Amino acid sequence: MNKLFENHWFIKIISFFIALMLFLMVNQDNLNNQPSAVTPPMATSSYTLEDVQLTAYYDEDRFAITEISESVQVNLRGPQSIITLLQISRPSYEVFVDLTEREAGVHHVNIEHKGFPNELSVSIVPQFTRVVIQEKKTVSIPVEVDLVNQEEVAEGYSVGTPIVTPVNVEITAAEELIDQVAIAKAYVDVRDANETIEKAVPIKIYDHFGNELHLDVEPSVVDVRVPITSPFKTVPIKISREGTLPDGLSIDSIQYEPREVTIFGPQDVINDISLIEGIVLDLSTITENQTVQLDIPRPRGVERIEPSTVEVTIELTEEATRTIDDVPLEITGISEGYEVEIVEPTTESISVMIRGADELIERVTREELQAFIDVSQLTPGEHDIDIQLVGPQNMVFETEISIAKVVIRENEDEDE
């Protein structure tokens, strides 16, 4: 058929035929008035239009039509030329019912028509139709978010409570349809989701039996936010110190909050993290009692840390000193098969001077102090090694002898 319409000879023939029909219609009266001409009788024919859409005119702002015939049959009778022209040209005709003056209720109304050629007689089957008009009603109902494939979210991730905006939607329809409305839903697929979902979602309306209702909804689309939380773990934090306080000042106390943070990320990453380090307090910038905020570094692979900062409160006091004698000097890290001798100092204990807040240093006991040398990385022979001092926090420990001289030897074989 398409090829036929593309043929220019076919188009020319059809155009000629239409022009001829129009000429005959326009000049019919002139031809009939010619005394010397013999006018042949005009052929009469009939034609039926099936399933013609029935249009209704009514106050759409106030009413809704719940029952009406969707289509009708139109029977045409008249000159064959007019019917042929109608078939070819498809003029703009309409079959309708006028309900503009009708109120809510049941009405039997005459079906009208317009746009058909005047030369044709028009009969419509059925001639009347039953129409049910109802008042429109508007209700507001909350939107429920239905999460699809929730069990298939990315491994280790969890789904939070969805947030929908706006919370309610308005439905406008005939009263009997409004009474059927049970729920408004928005569907969000969370399969393989590993981050928060934010998207616009169309609204679907259902009756009490789960059947979808196709009604006017305002708005028809809502914004939905579905929090997707990665695996998390709570771990402590450690604050390191660098620099020194100005002369004459000592730390009375250091407090920080929080002491633990929550880390979020892939399960295999957070499983290997037991402590957050790398938070550094620079003592050289502290000149008075104050609170500072420090950033908490995010380990590689961790998505986020909550909270991301820590508040550190430092209280200072005037520095005092105290010396504790006879602190044992210990040796650690002796490898099997070796022995270590301390050449200097010649005593097995040393004196340790403590600098700090007076109240703090007065509470320090000898048992809380540790002086030691670590020989775990040394080879046999004579070595000078730093003496390390360990004690309670917020104090400085010093000794007059900071370096020990040791000799490391292999044990002699007792069997020789």
Q: Sort 405 into a burial class: Cβ within 10 Å, 0-12 / 13-18 / 19+.
A: middle
Scanning 227-271, the segments in alpha helix (DSSP H) are 267-270
pLDDT of residue 32: 46
pLDDT at 256 over 90: yes
Tens digits of per-residue pLDDT, 263-285?
Answer: 988 888 898 999 999 999 999 99
- Over residues 72-86, the mean pLDDT reads 88
> Is 415 inside any structural domain?
no
Nearest to 321 by CA among 258, 261, 395, 267: 395
> Is 102 inside any structural domain?
yes
pLDDT of residue 353: 94
> Is 155 inside any structural domain?
yes
Residues spanned by the domain of 238: 232-318
- Asked if 255 and 314 sit in the same domain, the reply is yes
- 106, 126, 146: which is the final residue of a domain? 126
- Asked if 243 and 310 sit in the same domain, the reply is yes
Nearest to 285 by CA among 317, 252, 248, 241: 241
| Alpha-carbon dihedral sign for residues 350, 354, 358, 361 | negative
> Is 200 inside any structural domain?
yes
pLDDT at 222 over 90: yes
- Asked if 242 and 273 sit in the same domain, the reply is yes
pTM score, whole prediction: 0.49
The per-residue pLDDT of the chain, averaged, comes to: 86
Query: Among the ranges 30-39, 77-86, 306-315, which has the highest mean pLDDT value?
Result: 306-315
pLDDT at 31 over 50: no
Residue 346 belongs to domain with CATH number: 2.170.120.30
pLDDT of residue 156: 80
Separation between Cα atoms, residue 330 and residue 127, nearest integer Å: 116
- Asked if 214 and 141 sit in the same domain, the reply is yes
Q: How confident is the model at residue 416 (pLDDT cuts 50, 70, 90)?
A: very low
Tens digits of per-residue pLDDT, 154-209?
Answer: 888 889 999 999 999 999 888 888 889 999 999 999 998 888 999 999 999 999 99
Run of H or E including 177: helix 175-178
Q: How confident is the model at residue 86 (pLDDT cuts 50, 70, 90)?
A: confident
| Alpha-carbon dihedral sign for residues 197, 198, 203, 207 | positive
- Asked if 154 and 189 sit in the same domain, the reply is yes
- Asked if 141 and 221 sit in the same domain, the reply is yes
Structurally, the chain folds into a number of domains equal to 5
pLDDT at 33 over 70: no
Separation between Cα atoms, residue 416 and residue 307, nearest integer Å: 66
- Asked if 224 and 237 sit in the same domain, the reply is no
> Is 93 inside any structural domain?
yes
> Is 131 inside any structural domain?
no
- Asked if 276 and 310 sit in the same domain, the reply is yes
Scanning 181-232, the segments in alpha helix (DSSP H) are none
Query: Among the ranges 8-12, 129-133, 235-239, which has the highest mean pLDDT value?
Result: 235-239
- Asked if 24 and 52 sit in the same domain, the reply is no
- Asked if 33 and 45 sit in the same domain, the reply is no
pLDDT of residue 155: 80
Q: How confident is the model at residue 210 (pLDDT cuts 50, 70, 90)?
A: very high
- Asked if 329 and 288 sit in the same domain, the reply is no
> Is 220 inside any structural domain?
yes
> Is 416 inside any structural domain?
no
- 209, 229, 249: which is the final residue of a domain? 229
Residue 217 belongs to domain with CATH number: 2.170.120.40
pLDDT at 299 over 70: yes
pLDDT of residue 146: 94
- Asked if 148 and 214 sit in the same domain, the reply is yes
Q: Sort 97 into a burial class: Cβ within 10 Å, 0-12 / 13-18 / 19+.
A: buried
pLDDT of residue 30: 45
- 286, 303, 318: which is the final residue of a domain? 318
